[in-house]
Structure 1
Amino acid sequence: MKIALMMENSQAAKNAAVLNELKTVVEPMGHTAYNVGMSDEQDHHLTYIHLGIMASLLLNARAVDFVVAGCGTGQGALMSLNIHPGVVCGYCLDPSDAFLFNQINNGNALSLAFAKGYGWGAELNVRYIFEKAFTGERGQGYPLERAEPQQRNAGILNEVKAAVVKEGYLDAMRAIDQELVKTAVGGARFQACFFENCQVPEIAAYVRSLLD
């Protein structure tokens, strides 16, 4: 699994600590972690709005399989990611949230709160969240006797979201303020992850046109 971590400006100072916990958990599992957002407060400036655009491009281009995002409360990033087609983001404050999202909702992104409640032992909470998010087979249901309706409803939700977004994906991206999109794709680490792994040539060509 390819996992992208993206941090925005208000919480960029915590990026190194969060990235370390992510790698500690997922690399022994054989997963690859990409740090595509801000690495510190002087890095390429991003807001949670940019994180939604970045997650959308990475997931719809199948450049990564999962996105870990967040902001101070986690709410802004949650909303920003979930407005995009092909992105199913959960809200995660503790390891049980990660486990239940993994098993019941089986989405492809998580939004964490990196300021609210981020106190003593915060790095342990982040580590345990990642353990529950990425360990074991996903979408098995919880409790197990509820697995079948949960799996069915998760699929229906994805169908409803796809139906609501009536425009083609790139038409929808072009309808966004293109300066926002240019900023979102302007980081060197994002570009490296995206172009190395992108499986949809049309989306790659769109991103290249912004950079040119």
Structure 2
Amino acid sequence: MKIALMMENSQAAKNATVLEQLNTVVKPLEYAVFNVGMSDENDHHLTYIHLGIMASILVNSKAVDFIVTGCGTGQGAMMSLNIHPGVVCGYCLDPSDAFLFNQINNGNALALAFAKGFGWGAELNVRYIFEKAFTTGERGMGYPLERAEPQQRNAGILNQVKAAVIKDDYLEALQAIDRDLVKTAVSGERFQQCFFEHCQVPEIESYIRSILD
């Protein structure tokens, strides 16, 4: 699995802590982690709006499999990611949220609160969230188990409704976004390294190169 961690300006100072905990959990699983957002407060400036664009590009181009993100409350990042085709982002405050999202909703992104409630022992809570998100076995198996079938069915229906509402032509949706907004989102060096090395959709790669040119 390839995981992208992306953080915006208000919580960039916590990037090193969050990255350390994510690596602690997933490196033994031989998952790759790409730190594509802000690494500190002096890094390439991003807002939670940019995070949604970045996540959608990485997921729809199949450059990564899963996104870990957030903002002060986590709400803005979650909403920003969920407006895009192909991205299903859950809201996560504690390890049980991560486990239930994994088992019931089976999405491809988590938005955490990196300010609200982020106090003493916060790094432990983040680590336990990542443990429940990435080390609890096969995803989408349902909870409780006897509810697995309707939960899996409803998750599939929700994805179909989203695709119908926003139309499932990702490149067209991306091209409809203000070019300057997209350019800011994709201008980070670490984002570009992750994207260009692992992108599997040439049409998306071509468009991003045209934005940067």
Which residue pairs with 2:150 in the alignment? 149
Shift of 1:110: 0.2
The equivalent residue for 1:176 is: 177
Q: How does 1:85-164 map to 2 (within 5 A)?
A: 85-135=85-135, 136-164=137-165
Shift of 1:177: 1.0
User: How far apart are 1:194 and its partner, in Å?
Assistant: 0.5
Distance 2:64 2:170 in 1: 17
Deviation at 1:5, TM superposition (A): 0.2
Structure 1 residue 168: Cα displacement: 2.3
User: Counterparts of 1:153 and 1:201 in 2: how far apart (Å)?
Assistant: 32
TM-score (norm 2): 0.98
Letter paired with 2:211: L
CA distance in 1, matches of 2:77, 2:194: 20
The corresponding residue for 1:2 is 2
Gaps of 5+ in 2: none
Q: Any idea what the Cα deviations from partners look like across 1:2-54, whole Å, max 9, x if unmatched?
A: 00000000000000000000000001011111000000000000000000000
Distance in 2 (alpha carbons) for counterparts of 1:151 and 1:171 = 29
RMSD: 0.7
The superposition leaves residues 149-207 of structure 1 with CA deviations (integer Å, 9 ceiling, x where unpaired) of: 00011011111111111262111111111111000000000000001110000001011
Query: What is the one-letter code of the residue matched to 2:192?
Result: Q
User: 1:32-43 residue pairs with structure 2 within 5 A?
Assistant: 32-43=32-43
CA–CA distance in structure 1, aligned partners of residues 207 and 55 of structure 2: 15
Within-5 A mapping of 1:55-66:
55-66=55-66
How many angstroms apart in 2 are the aligned matches of 1:107 and 1:181?
24
Query: Which residue in the other structure is 2:197 paired with?
Result: 196
SS in 1 for 2:70: strand
Q: C-alpha distance in 2, partners of 1:31/1:128?
A: 17
Code of the residue aligned with 1:116 in structure 2: it is K
Secondary structure class of the residue paired with 1:34: strand
* Percent of residue pairs identical: 82
How many residues are matched? 212
Letter in 2 for 1:16: A
AA aligned to 1:51 is L
Three-state SS of the structure 2 residue aligned to 1:91 is strand
1:133 aligns to what SS in structure 2? helix
Partner of 2:188: 187
Moved segments of 4+, more than 6 Å: none
Tell me, yes or no, if the aligned pair for 2:85 and 2:168 is still in contact at 8 Å: no
